[in-house]
Amino acid sequence: MIIKTNSTKLSPLLILILIFSVIFHTGCTVIKQAGKNIPNFDGERAFKDVQYQVSLGPRIPGTAGQEKILKWLDEELSQNKWEVELQVHEIGGKTITNLIASRGEDGKYILLGAHYDTRIYADQDPDPGLRSLPVPGANDGGSGVAVLLEMARILPNDLPMPVQIVFFDAEDNGGIEDWDWILGSRAFVQHMVFPPEAAIIVDMVGDADLKLYKEHNSNVDLMEQIWEQARLLGYDEVFLTEYKFSVLDDHTPFIEAGIPAVDIIDLDYPYWHTTADTADKVSVESLQIVGDTLLAWILSLE
C-alpha cells in the first residue's frame, strides 16, 4: 500500500490509524490466500506407487505384468473420477495398449504422459550374467507413472485448461530383436482426434540424485515455463538451466506433429537398463520436486 502525504505533519492518532490499516489489509490478504483450495502433491504416496509397480514384476507388453498394471491404473483413476480408455493398436508389427485418462469435455487440453512398460532385457547391466533378465523399472517407467497417478488424484476439476493423462506402452524396448522405441506414443499421435495444446512427458524422474537438464529437442518456450515454476519453488538445483541431452522419447512424435512438447528426464541414472533399477534407488524427495513443479505449472495456466 502506498500512502501519499503532503508536507503537513501527521498526527500520532492518524499514524496509528494508518499503521492499523496496513496491518489489517495485509492480514486479510494472507487469510484469503490461506483459504484457497490448493491441492498438495504427496511424494510419499507416489513412492508407494513405485514400490507397488515393482511388486507386479516386469510390465513387458503382452505379459501378465502388463495386465496387472493396466487393471490397477484403471481402478485408481476411475476412483478419482477419470474416464479411462484402453487404446489398442498394431504398430511396427506389435500390439500396444495405451491407457488414456480424461476428464471434462473434448476441446483444448494439456497432455501429461509417461510410459508404464519396462525393458525386456537388462542389457546395460555391469554383470554379463544378468543381461538376459528383465529390468525392474522402478525409475525407468515406475517413477513417471507414480508422479502422474498422484497428479490424477489431486488435480481439481475446475482447471483453466483440461488435462488428459496418458500412460504409454512399448516405449522402452528399442534395439531388442524386432522391437522399436516409443511405439505407444507413436500410435497415440497417429490416431489422436483432438491434438493437445502441449504435451509434457516425465521419464526417469525419481533418481535420488536427480538432475534435470534441459533437453535439446523439447519446445523452448514450454520448457522455460516449467523451469521457471521450479525456480520459484526453490528447485533450481534440480531443474538446471543447462542443456545436456538430445533424447528420442515419448515427446518425439508430438514434436514431429508440430505439437509443443517437453521431455523431463534424468539420463544420468547409473542403473538405467540394469537389474538394479529397483525402488531403493528412487527418492521421495525427487518425486515431490517433480510433482510440485508440474502442479504449479498446471495451476499457472490461463
All domains of the chain in start order, with CATH: 41-300 (3.40.630.10)
Handedness of CA 210, 222, 116, 94 (dihedral sign): negative
Over residues 111-132, the pLDDT tens digits come to 999 999 999 999 999 999 999 9
**pLDDT class for 105, splitting at 50, 70, 90?**
low
Decide which of 107 and 68 is more confident.
Answer: 68
> pLDDT tens, 207-238?
999 999 999 999 999 999 999 999 999 999 99
Which residue type sits at 40? N
**Are the C-beta atoms of residues 209 and 120 closer than 8 Å to each other?**
no
| pLDDT above 70: residue 52 | yes
Inter-residue contact 214 to 287 (CB < 8 Å): no
Res 37: pLDDT: 62
End-to-end C-alpha distance for the chain, whole angstroms: 27
Cell numbers found for residue 138: 522402478
Q: With beta carbons less than 8 A apart as the criterion, state whether 180 and 97 touch.
A: no
pLDDT for res 244 = 95
